[in-house]
A and B are shown apart, each in its own frame.
Chain A
């Protein structure tokens, strides 16, 4: 088990490194960075000064090595525009994004699992079809549009919730719901198919032959097995949610990491963009490893392996 984790960590590190290389090259795509930093009204000498100051005159691989070296100790560079260390910027905004993501995921699970169980237990009935319809429509709705629509309905017309900012817990309600919405269709489908498979399994037949109560059969026997892949997929979904947080944070003006990235892209603030990509990728990798571990914990068959 330990060996397994170590191997996954090593692989994860390699992936993170590759992602960093890609994002590094990405930020150098547009040509001369020094020109964009210096601004449109800069003179040639200004540009040269900027180039030297930011180390942009060194060869590419040297720049990369420097960046990686500093990142390894937590120094993600300085932002061009915020006049602050990138790591500080990210650290300040991370709690918001994380809160959003975790609340969104919990909400998604609270909705998906009961819905999926219901659809599976009533497979083939109108209830099942309604649930399938809901998941289909849910997959088709763009999250930013849902956010705006909710703002109009709940923020303006009903006046129940604030529409932007991060003042109180109420500010997180609509964004979390929208975020949950992006994960509900997939998780519901997964729960449903897992439950259908579990209910048709031999061990559930045995449970029925033993005369156990219906609730016990559904929740204790079937769901316990069907939920295993759902939980590990949920962990990965969290990674996707965090990666896509930029859209929802922008719609609701939440100052999280995604919003920071978007602002930075607009301002060509490359150190920030690069760092955010690395951070998000690392979180995703960690979550996939966590998902594997979770799988092993929940499924006794994988434990002794």
Chain B
């Protein structure tokens, strides 16, 4: 029926042979779906994005059983072949708009080079498209801006330029790695609204990486929660918020203070401990050292379980405890 646009199966990423940043994760992104990858810093979400695009640092190694874009295998491709897809059919925007643009060239030249490279467009056509896109992403006076240098633009404007640049070739998939983290809160909201609108206009699928549950609630169709390199829970957004199955997800949700529900004097929720660095060959649940429900069974490999057909998670304890509690 529906071939997912991006299909990731058993993806693993290690750095320097010592740090297993991503361990055997599987997920997929459907056409025109916004899929959020959420987790704390260091959980491996950025590494996942870079691995998909094959942009890992020189000491990073990826492996997967499957990695396809619209049915096309990405794993066996050499760098040349992947470069032709990057920017054309899948694009990526990054966290730091301040440094992600080349300071020596105008934003116009940086935008048109993508189109000319992938579609062989003429300079005139590329400029027209760049101006059009800049307008679409909400940049005023694009004809003037196109000749400006990155340092002449604010952070929010630069991120809009990045988004416009990513859309030059009308990609099918947009990977956004914490696109609003470095921006002011008000600008954040604008950018998110912009992304939602563009998704509709362009029929984009978006893989949005974030640590902010608020963003997830606002834009995500589907959420995958990562912890210490593992995908601990994955579900449609509303289901995740309504019935989280993994202790970590529960912990995360309880950390978010809800104005109406919080009472004065009540301590803010938190998860004690810190995210561990995992070496390759680690067995069992990575969260067990911080989990209130853990027992010896958590040191063995945890099977993937389903709560509903579209909601899976990696825990053997919490559902049992919840069932046991209801029985008792």
Contacts and interface: CB of A to CB of B under 8 A. Distances in A.
Interface string A261-291: 0000000000000000000000000000000
B217 interface: no
A209 B117 contact: no
Given A212-B117, A301-B149, A205 B100 contact: yes
Contact of A225 (B85, B104, B117, B162): B104
Interface in A185-209: 201-203, 205-209
B113 interface: yes
A221 B110 CA distance: 10
Secondary structure class of chain A's binding surface, majority of residues: helix
A157 to B, nearest CB: 45
A300 to B, nearest CB: 4
B285 interface: no
Contact of B102 (A124, A207, A213): A207
A205 B100 CA distance: 8
Interface in B182-229: none
A208 B86 contact: yes
Secondary structure class of chain B's binding surface, majority of residues: mixed
B128 to A, nearest CB: 19
Given A202-B99, A299-B103, A210 B117 contact: yes
Interface residues of B, number: 31
Interface residues of A, number: 23
A211 B103 contact: no
B152 interface: yes
Contacts of B165: 210
Contacts of A18: none
Given A205-B55, A212-B113, A213-B83, A300 B99 contact: no
B87 A301 contact: no
B84 interface: yes
A36 interface: no
B99 A209 contact: no
A203 B100 contact: yes
Contacts of B58: 124
B53 interface: yes
B248 interface: no
Nearest to A206: B100
A211 B117 contact: yes
Contacts of B85: 211
B151 interface: yes
B114 interface: yes
A301 B117 contact: no
Nearest to B148: A300
Interface string B45-87: 0000000010100100000000000000000000100111111
A224 B105 CA distance: 9
A203 B101 contact: yes
Contacts of B114: 210-212
Contacts of B79: 214
Interface string A49-89: 00000000000000000000000000000000000000000
Q: Which 9 A-B pairs have the closest CB atoms?
A: A211-B86, A211-B87, A210-B87, A202-B99, A203-B102, A209-B92, A300-B149, A211-B83, A202-B100
28 contacts: A202-B99, A203-B100, A205-B55, A205-B94, A206-B101, A208-B83, A209-B55, A209-B86, A209-B91, A209-B94, A210-B113, A211-B82, A211-B83, A211-B84, A211-B85, A211-B87, A211-B114, A212-B87, A212-B117, A214-B83, A224-B104, A225-B102, A298-B104, A300-B104, A300-B149, A301-B149, A301-B151, A304-B152
Interface of B: 53, 55, 58, 79, 82-88, 91-92, 94, 96, 99-105, 113-114, 117-118, 149, 151-152, 162, 165
Given A224-B104, A225-B103, 8 more contacts: A206-B100, A210-B86, A210-B117, A211-B117, A213-B83, A214-B79, A298-B104, A300-B104
